[in-house]
Structure 1
Amino acid sequence: MSTVAEHCRKVAHLLRRLHDATPEQVPLAEARGRVLARDVTAPVSLPPFDNSQMDGYALRTADLDSARTGVAVRLQVASPIPAGTAPADLRPGSAAPIMTGAMLPAGADAVVPIEQATPDRFFADDGGTRTVELPAGVPAGQYVRVAGSDIGAGDPALPAGTLLLAPQLGLLAALGMGTVPVRPRPVVLLLSTGDEVVAPGAELPPGGIYDANTTMLRACLEDAGAVVRHSRLVTDDVERFQGRLAEDLAEEPVDLVVTAGGISKGAYEVVRQGLADHPVEFGAVAMQPGGPQAIGSIDSVPFLGFPGNPVSCLVSFETFLRPALSDIIGYPRPRPEVAARLAEPVSSPEHKLQVRRGRYFDDGTVQLIGGAGSHLVHALAEANALVQIPEGTSELDAGDDVQVRLLDAPADATTKGSNQ
């Protein structure tokens, strides 16, 4: 029986080639949630030119130097400078009305806000016949955004591995980048097995159960940045399983095959039987739920087999596959792990990591939801955390500390009573 840490290393080793995949160049508008594949340097400076931080008057501070402090200086009003234009040079003894973000004219070295001018409003352009009074003692550089003060051309902008969200995309857009190199999303073939399993929405026959694994694992994989090329239900017929698998792999290349069910030691373990001729290891991990695990390759394609019970499936994904994708591809970001105080006592098999579903509250306590059974889907849906009861621990008391992996934001402690 492998330890959890050992199986984690096996999964990471299996998927290591995903890290070396050729980057994709995608339009900036399609890059949200993707991971930057290469370091990006700034192709231009930000700001690209000296510009005004205020609506006001651009001027030469030398024209104000001779005045006494507190004395206003009267300057000729030059032609206004709207944003998006290249202004004429500023003549000595004049001040140009300038809008926020507009290019500073050559010769100007400061801006006085319109509120400090007399009159404190702009004139229509009348050919330079008007004057304006501006305060003396204005320092050079006042309300001027200097070219490159945010980032200079050629400076590092974003490192490889950056998750591209709104702020990062905003920077790349401001730098004029229409496309961006990103790490490819892993393409996954997902198969769920079992004669008893029926697709949601179909009529349920005697002895049948609705398939939760396909929907749940597909959502998990897509939340983790993967592309699920196909997700299918397959019966416990070995030849049909082998034929479906061969057809799907021949149809389009995939980076990973994931199955749910059919990997234990029962009489109808279709995945185990169907992959007998492939380099796949079927074994057990010291974890509850999620003990049975399969790992290997199918025609050189990495393969992971998860147990068929829904809770075991999700715990397996969260324990093994999600962290591997996070480490190798840089997305999804790791789940936060925090210490929490148990709200109640708990027992656990001493030689296994037990993963219980729980409700973590913002006061630092965690309440277990449902039992240890791997079929308790309702309890799984109510949980916002996976509670880790480590190997070597058989009993914990209320108030003892445990590590929890957060699946969602903490709940308000005042709502604890509604979750009893």
Structure 2
Amino acid sequence: MAKLGDDTFSIGAPALRLDDLEPLIAARVAPVAGFEPVALRAARGRVLAHAVAALRDLPPFDNSAVDGFALRHADLAAVGETRLAVVDRVTAGHAAARPLAPGAAVRIFTGAPMPAGADTVLMQEDARLDGDVLVVPSGLKPGDNRRCAGEDIAVGGLMLPAGRRITAADIALAAAQGLTALPVRRRVSVALFSTGDEIVEPGTALPSSAIYDANRYLLLALTEALGATVTDLGILGDDADALADALRQATVGHDLVITSGGVSTGEADHVRTAVERVGRLDVWRVAIKPGKPVAMGVLAGEEGARAAFVGLPGNPAAAFVTFVRVVRPLLLRLAGATPQPPRVLPVRAGFAHRKRPGRREYLRGSLRLGADGAPEAVVHRLEGAGAITSLTETDGLIEIGDDVTAVTPGDTVGFVSYAEITG
């Protein structure tokens, strides 16, 4: 399980700012133990356990970057055209029969090895043939259109660093090196359940005063997109004893337990009470809107099992925002990745807004082009934390700084694309 210190999230402030929370996660949460090799076809999204060095130069030999003619730049006249005899033809996968002699050129195709002695390639679009003689115009520079051995990466160079979430491009680079597998950390194991007497499973009858459980499906999809395996524990009612038992059992075989609902200070919000019976609750408010009630701590179960715990708000938009800004860096850290803060694009505000100081606020919105062609952010018609359409009908989060109290049209705000924070 995750190696969590006794003070993993401890901090005295009642409402923790995001800028303070993320360094704590980085410093005090250790990645899960356990490594395994995984085939390239299954490696996308996994976290590299060890750095991988290049086994060979890439490209492995000097080759032509274009279809054209290989030549010796030293043969070219300083001024005007140069005439060279075309003596050979080289295609990809084949080598020239002999070194290139002075005053000669070789017809060459993209990816074909450069003949010994040749150092420059004239693109075929710029070439003119006079029978078997190539007419080379002036202006060609030494090394033009030649790819040198090892210019992409040299043997022994760092190819992929430890902690990297493997991308399709990383897989291509590994394949180009002849690798068939990569060393990765094991997947983080997450237990997930929703809480609330008013929550029922989609597909079942909907009693009056009840709602279908959207949060669990939202959080399951977000968690799996980060490469974790998820155990779906369903829905639990508002009963502190039952919640405590479920949390205790969930520590076995899991690195992280995520719940939604029941973490505010309301009389019927029992998650906080249940967590304090099973483990320790270190943070229960984060200075973020929507989603200020976010509980974080450590659970202790049977046979010494321990797991990190995060309790998210019950409103779907609040659950989304707190997941991508609070749970995501924690989950990536557990996975052994090096989480980077999301890239915040500065854009012009196309709206007015007021807020309290001391907390980061995230409005759901989209980008549009203003009258002058510059991008500007607009907010969704519904700002409430329970509005799921504020997620489906927008492109990202509009970030308003902790100490900002008012936004007027034309001010600069931050925009975080959903693509940046949901995978």
Interval of TM-score (by shorter of Structure 1 and Structure 2)? 0.7 to 0.9
Q: Which amino acid aligns with 1:30?
A: A
CA contact (8 A) 1:342 1:367 kept: yes
Partner of 1:310: 316
Give CA deviations for 1:263-315 in whole Å, capped at 9, x if unaligned: 23444434334333222227334444323232211222111111222232222
Quick one: which of 312, 320, 323 aligns to 2:326? Answer: 320
The 5 Å alignment of 1:143-292 reads 144-230=146-232, 232-250=234-252, 253-281=253-281, 283-292=284-293
SS in structure 2 of the partner of residue 17 of structure 1: coil
Deviation of the 1:370 alpha carbon: 4.8
Cα gap change, 1:15 to 1:288, in 2 (>3 Å)? same
Partner of 2:341: 334
In the alignment, is residue 26 of structure 1 matched against residue 38 of structure 2? yes
Distance 1:205 1:327 in 2: 41
CA contact (8 A) 1:345 1:398 kept: yes
CA contact (8 A) 1:90 1:96 kept: no
Distance 2:393 2:100 in 1: 71
Cα gap change, 1:392 to 1:58, in 2 (>3 Å)? closer
Cα gap change, 1:139 to 1:367, in 2 (>3 Å)? closer
Quick one: which of 379, 401, 407 aligns to 2:411? Answer: 401
Cα gap change, 1:161 to 1:385, in 2 (>3 Å)? same
In the alignment, is residue 348 of structure 1 matched against residue 355 of structure 2? yes
CA contact (8 A) 2:71 2:100 kept: no
Cα gap change, 1:376 to 1:97, in 2 (>3 Å)? closer
In the alignment, is residue 361 of structure 1 matched against residue 363 of structure 2? no
SS in structure 1 of the partner of residue 192 of structure 2: strand
Distance 1:387 1:140 in 2: 50
CA contact (8 A) 1:15 1:324 kept: no
TM-score by length of 1: 0.74
Cα gap change, 1:88 to 1:262, in 2 (>3 Å)? same
Q: Which amino acid aligns with 2:30?
A: R
Deviation of the 1:192 alpha carbon: 0.7
Q: Which amino acid aligns with 1:27?
A: A
Which of 94-103 and 292-301 deviates more?
Answer: 94-103
Cα gap change, 1:148 to 1:376, in 2 (>3 Å)? closer
Distance 1:109 1:388 in 2: 52
Partner of 1:43: 55
SS in structure 1 of the partner of residue 216 of structure 2: helix
The 5 Å alignment of 1:113-152 reads 116-119=128-131, 132-134=132-134, 144-152=146-154
CA contact (8 A) 1:11 1:324 kept: no
The percentage of counterpart residues that share the same residue type is 33
Cα gap change, 1:61 to 1:212, in 2 (>3 Å)? closer
SS in structure 1 of the partner of residue 30 of structure 2: helix
Cα gap change, 1:360 to 1:101, in 2 (>3 Å)? closer
Which of 268-277 and 192-201 deviates more?
Answer: 268-277
TM-score by length of 2: 0.73
Q: Which amino acid aligns with 2:258?
A: V
Q: Which amino acid aligns with 2:299?
A: I
Count matched residues.
Answer: 390
In the alignment, is residue 377 of structure 1 matched against residue 388 of structure 2? yes
Cα gap change, 1:49 to 1:161, in 2 (>3 Å)? same
SS in structure 1 of the partner of residue 58 of structure 2: coil
Which of 371-380 and 133-142 deviates more?
Answer: 133-142
Partner of 1:418: none
Give CA deviations for 1:379-409 in whole Å, capped at 9, x if unaligned: 343343444555666x636337364442448
CA contact (8 A) 1:41 1:156 kept: yes
Deviation of the 1:59 alpha carbon: 7.0
Partner of 1:2: 15
Cα gap change, 1:205 to 1:96, in 2 (>3 Å)? same
Structure 2 gaps, min length 5: 1-13, 301-305
Partner of 2:6: none
Distance 1:222 1:262 in 2: 23
Structure 1 gaps, min length 5: 120-131, 411-420
Deviation of the 1:142 alpha carbon: 6.8
Cα gap change, 1:193 to 1:140, in 2 (>3 Å)? closer
Cα RMSD for the two superposed structures: 4.2
SS in structure 2 of the partner of residue 280 of structure 1: strand
Q: Name which one, 1 or 2, has greater alpha-carbon Rg.
A: 1
Q: Which amino acid aligns with 2:385?
A: S
Quick one: which of 4, 12, 25 aligns to 2:25? Answer: 12
Which of 152-161 and 171-180 deviates more?
Answer: 152-161
In the alignment, is residue 293 of structure 1 matched against residue 294 of structure 2? yes
